[in-house]
Amino acid sequence: MKNSTSAAAGKTSMSMLLYLSLAHLFNDAFQSTVAAVYPVIKDSLSLTFGQIGLIVLVYQLCASVFQPIFGVLFDRSPKSWYLSAGTISTMTGLVILAFAGSIYGVMAAVAFIGLGSSVIHPEASRLTHIASGGRHGLAQSIFQVGGNFGGSLGPLLAAAIVAPNGQRYIVVFAGIAVISLLTKAPIVRWYRQRIALMRSSVAKKEVVHRVRLSKKKIYFSLAILLALIFSKYVYMASLNSYYTFYLIEKFGVTTQQSQLFLFAFLFASAAGTLLGGPIGDRFGRKYVIWISILGTAPFSLMMPHANLLWTCVLSVVIGLVLSSAFSAILVYAQELLPTRIGLISGLFFGLAFGIAGIAAAVLGNLADAKSLAYVYNICSFMPLLGAVAVFLPNVKLKKF
């Protein structure tokens, strides 16, 4: 079943986009909480940076490898309850994480949390495409900003709840997951109706938009987009997983203070996300992708040499500029293969998580061998790979 046939038909369902953005907010708040409590887990269980990297790897692999697999399933066999199943998996992981007494318990916990993300990201992104009414960039920006704001809330909540009280208080987030489950009821009802419509004769008459490119050019463009994802998320792994440790090691700030700095970076990322989609709809996604990644390079190259104040300022600028890239990249890829929205969503979300996981493990061991300052010096060059965006074609859509 090709669910994207109705994606461009009808009006933009703004209420559903907001509900889907809220679902993304809850999910990414839970996911970012995992990264934010690494210092607490490290101290509680006496772990090394290498072991933290291993935990991150397990989490990211579970949150990445299954995403394209689930995406194919969601394309072929749509069901209204998939998002709820993802939330239940995340909630289970949070409970385990709160009471884990060894690295193995932590790895089991983050595996459940990662699987929840593997369900929610491709499915919610696919539903966002369906609800977009053809305004794909705007819809993905609304969806992404929910995730980014949620991601920025995780460290803030962890600083307020977990850091002063200990690992057991992670269970509070499992209670919040119950609220998240209840807020998905309108999405379930709406999508049940959409499934019925997609199976009707009306849906078969609707228009599919394809790009005016050969298959060879489409695959080449996808390869360029994947290279850009690699550049973006290796650098993001250094910030998301080790920024708090970097601040503690280099500037001697407290754990709570470092989490507030991480919140500032993630909040700026959330704000920047709103820009990429609408600008891409209006002027072309290629230019948004190019500017957002390559444009980060001057700031990333300066940050390892800055003092505490300027480190915070530069991280905010980096978050603001770099965050606009993913929505544009994802929509660009979806427009290349418009009948495989779930697969593309799962592939790109999954690759983003997978790259981040592998990078986190490698960077963790590198930090043990060298230092976090050395890691940040190396990673500061990654945004320069954004220059390959110049090879992306300017896509034009045609109807079928």
> Confidence band (pLDDT; 50, 70, 90) for 152?
confident
Report the pLDDT averaged over residues 236-254.
84
Instruction: Please state the length of the chain.
Output: 400
Helix (H, G, I), strand (E, B) or coil at 399: strand
Contact 86, 116 (CB under 8 A): yes
260 has pLDDT over 90: no
Residue 280 has pLDDT above 60, yes or no: yes
Max Cα–Cα distance, the chain, nearest Å? 65
Give pLDDT tens digits for 107-116. Answer: 999 999 999 9
Q: Give the sign of the dihedral formed by CA 55, CA 60, CA 271, CA 299.
A: positive
Cα atoms found within 13 Å of the Cα of residue 11, Cβ hemisphere only: 3
185-226 per-position pLDDT tens digit:
999 999 988 888 777 655 454 445 556 677 888 888 888 998
Tokens of 273: 């996300």
- Of the candidate CATH numbers 1.20.1250.20, 3.50.50.60, 1.10.3720.10, 3.40.50.300, the domain formed by 10-399 belongs to 1.20.1250.20
| Cα first-last separation, the chain | 16
Neighbours of 252 (CB within 10 A): 9
Provide the pLDDT for residue 74. 85
234 pLDDT exceeds 80?
yes
Q: What is the dihedral of CA 72, 361, 151, 172, to 10 degrees?
A: 100
Would you state the pLDDT for residue 212? 67
Predicted structure pTM score? 0.70
Confidence of residue 395 (pLDDT cuts 50, 70, 90): low
Q: For residue 203, which of 127, 126, 130, 125 has the smallest C-alpha distance? A: 130
Instruction: Report residue 1's pLDDT band, with 50, 70 and 90 as the boundaries.
Output: very low
Distances (CA, A) of 298 to 29, 200, 293, 313, 381: 29, 53, 11, 13, 9
Of 37-41, 89-93, 343-347, 366-370, the range with the highest mean pLDDT is 89-93
DSSP assigned state of 392: S
pLDDT value of position 7: 40
Bridge partners (DSSP) listed for residue 210: 398
The distance from CA 92 to its chain's CA centroid, rounded to whole angstroms, is: 20
Which amino acid belongs to residue 242?
A: Y
- pLDDT confidence of residue 18: 92
pLDDT (tens digit per residue) in 291-316: 888 889 999 999 999 999 999 999 99
The span from the CA of 40 to the CA of 156, in Å, is 14
Taking alpha carbons only, the member of 348, 300, 304, 356 closest to residue 326 is 348
Please check the confidence at residue 244 and state whether its pLDDT lies above 90: no
* pLDDT > 70 fraction of the chain, expressed in percent and rounded: 92
C-alpha count within 13 angstroms, C-beta hemisphere, residue 288? 27
Residue with tokens 């609408």: 278
